[in-house]
Structure 1
Amino acid sequence: MNRIKEVLEEKGIKQTWLAEKIGKSFSQTNAYVCNRRQPSLKQLFEIAKILNVDVKNLI
């Protein structure tokens, strides 16, 4: 389980924006956000960097 959805909501960021920034499709990003799939550790660190949060805030 990850907290990507919560962090996006806290920051007022849309999933489409995140998808564009990480170079993934909206459906792939949505799967991460809704916890249907988990991003790789590398991807999780990239998401944390893009969202300007510590990776610990995403797990």
Structure 2
Amino acid sequence: MGQKKEHSNLIKEHLKKRGITQTWLAKELGMSFSITNAYVCNRKQPNLTTIFKVADLLEISPKELVK
């Protein structure tokens, strides 16, 4: 569970740093806000493909989202 919390905090942290909303991220990923919010709030883990998409959109290395 600790690892999931880190994922959540890392996605949320990067969104805040860039001033990006979860709504924007959801649209860019082609997912519902509900699913994106579940990733950010640690109710659900994104799959590897989604992690790569999020990293690409945030212009960071996927490694920065998986510690």
Whether these two folds match at TM > 0.5 is yes
Aligned residues: 59
Query: Which of the two has higher C-alpha Rg?
Result: 2
Further displaced range: 1-10 or 20-29: 1-10
Mapped to 2, the partners of 1:23 and 1:41 lie a distance apart of 16
Name the counterpart of 1:12: 19
Greater fraction of residues in helix: 2
Q: Percent identity?
A: 53
Structure 1 residue ranges without an equivalent (≥5): none
The one-letter code matched in structure 1 to 2:54 is: I
Name the counterpart of 2:57: 50
**1:57 to partner: Cα distance:** 1.1
Mapped to 1, the partners of 2:36 and 2:11 lie a distance apart of 10
Mapped to 1, the partners of 2:24 and 2:45 lie a distance apart of 18
Query: 1:16-52: per-residue Cα shift (whole Å, max 9, x none)?
Result: 0000000000000000011110100011001100110
Structure 2 residue ranges without an equivalent (≥5): none
Give the TM-score normalised by structure 2.
0.84
The one-letter code matched in structure 2 to 1:23 is: G
Give the TM-score normalised by structure 1.
0.94
